[in-house]
Amino acid sequence: MRIFRHYEELPAEARGGVVAIGNFDGVHLGHQALIGEAGGIAKDLGAPLGVLTFEPHPRSVFKPDDPPFRLTPLRAKARHIEALGADHLYVLHFDLDFSRRLAEDFVDAVLLGGLEARHIVVGRDFVFGNKRRGNVELLERMAAEKGFGLACVKPVCVGDEGTGSEVISSRTIRECLRESDVRGAAKRLGRFWELGGRVEKGETRGRGLGFPTANVPFGDYLRPAAGVYAVRAGVDQGPDTIWRDGVASIGFRPTFGGRELLLEVHIFDFSGDLYGHQLRVAMIGYLRREVKFESADDLIVEMKRDTERARAVLAEVDGPMPLENSVAGAR
């Protein structure tokens, strides 16, 4: 998959395709259905599949003082979109000037003039352009006038008739993670949610306790509920990711008077040097809330219990990712 940060003067092979449009934060089951629909149309037309998204996320432009909320910053989002078979990812810079662009101009200049899109695929609630005046109705009118194809994909839901169904959204996934419901988030994502970043040097306190940890900065990621989690940690080695079982703490280290929220990952039966490496951390199960212990010895005893609980949880899960790997488990 090739990534383009512009829409003008694209090479011929990156024009004339089927284009799925959205923010796609999380690349959850609903997003997968939308991109999958675009992929099916692209196959029928013998055209490339493109995905158009925006960076930074529009919410961070309109509400810059909000706390971090991203489920998938660009690096992670691109990886998931590539796995869905996209040929091209168009990442357009979003700022206040871009937000003031007329919806009709966005279609004419970007989608038709730049990408030369043959077919556009969006969700039913897709809005765009100045004051969000662009919508599906506008796209339908312009498609009829200008001759491009348009598909509007209905939302994907979880649940059943007995308990009620819920439209999958990035918002509800964020709520799950803030409430420590990593399995609920996974059910909506189609995979376990993961954080990622470059391992940094810490205070090596964990090593002194017998549990060496890799310290991963949160960056733009959403801050999930503090506590201890069973995880799988993936080290990117070229095109491959090597996954290992582990346990992670998200919190302030209250036993030692910490004040900064940290993600610390202890990988079982691992002794390599991870400093400077990209580490992916898939959140498999929530074990317990964060607790302040009376002493380091008490903490060590509990960390041993955490390790046992994490191994038990991980033994029940096949592979690094998945409760569900596609939209097959949703409706």
Residue with tokens 């580490």: 279
Dist CA 103 CA 234 (whole Å): 41
The helix/strand count (H/E) of the chain reads as 10, 14
| 307: its two tokens | 């390790």
Q: Choosing from 264, 290, 302, 308, which is the catalytic residue?
A: 264
Residues 20, 29 contacting (CB under 8 angstroms): no
Q: Which DSSP state fits 137?
A: H
Residue type, 74: L
The partner residues of 92 in beta bridges, in order of sequence, read 54
| 150: its two tokens | 């348009």
The answer, yes or no, to whether the previous bond of 56 is cis (omega within 30 of 0) is yes
- 264 flagged as catalytic: yes
The partner residues of 195 in beta bridges, in order of sequence, read 281
The candidate with the shortest Cα–Cα distance to 274, out of 320, 206, 223, 225, is 206
Active site residues: 264
